[in-house]
Amino acid sequence: MDDHILIIDHYENLSPKIKLTSEEIIDQVSNYKLKFLNIHDPRAEWGMRLPMFVTSFYDFILKNNRIPEQEEAFNYYVESNKEFFSQDLIDDKLFEGIRARYYRTYPSLVRDVCFNKYVEEHLDGYQVIYNTTLDIEEGIDLLLVKEDKYWGVCMYTNTRRAYQGREAKKRRHVYFSNVEFVEFPVEFKGSVMAGEFFLYGEREYKQLKSIIKK
């Protein structure tokens, strides 16, 4: 069987297309309110394949040059996936279960895009790549490139639920043979407090830098 090899030119880098700095993202979300729903519909959690959250989230940012608020992001997700949500199987209970799951995921989407921009701003000598296909299909939240070496960073919070999700993702991916995959669990309460958000910054950057510099 042929090696599963990363060909970098096949993946558009969205990171430089996001014309926001990490500080601008922090400033924006500092005024956002978060809401969480005490709903855990098994169908929405693990029982069905939902359209991926990251696709519409990044599409919104690229089109509007700002981070969407929580409900705004969910509404855009629904609008972007009209065909899925028009199915007869999407009853009111399931719809609210999907909403609840999206609301819980939303802060991590904000954390990731902010940290990706922070790394891009501070990690000299490396190309920093974010691509939704790499994220969804290959489990790479952040790709770092230096000369002919690649690091695929897989970020998740240091929680039981996140570890369960990470193990499920591992089983779905065939790793690129020319990429060094970096498992990067980080604390749920990130080093930067921005309003109601825990974000990642200098502490997590130093952790990542120490790993790839080994």
Per-residue pLDDT, 1? 42
pLDDT of residue 157: 79
Listed as ranges, residues in the chain with pLDDT below 50 are 1, 163
C-beta separation of 139 from 170 below 8 A: yes
Cβ pair 133, 15 in contact under 8 A = no
Question: Residues 85-106: pLDDT tens digits?
Answer: 999 999 999 999 999 999 999 9
Query: What is the pTM for the complete model shown?
Result: 0.91
Q: Alpha carbon 149 to chain centroid distance?
A: 23
> Rounded CA gap, 67 and 78, in Å?
17
| Rounded alpha-carbon distances, angstroms, from residue 82 to 55, 101, 133, 201, 209 | 14, 18, 21, 36, 41
Contact 8, 129 (CB under 8 A): yes
Residue-wise pLDDT for 41-62, tens only, equals 999 998 899 999 999 999 999 9
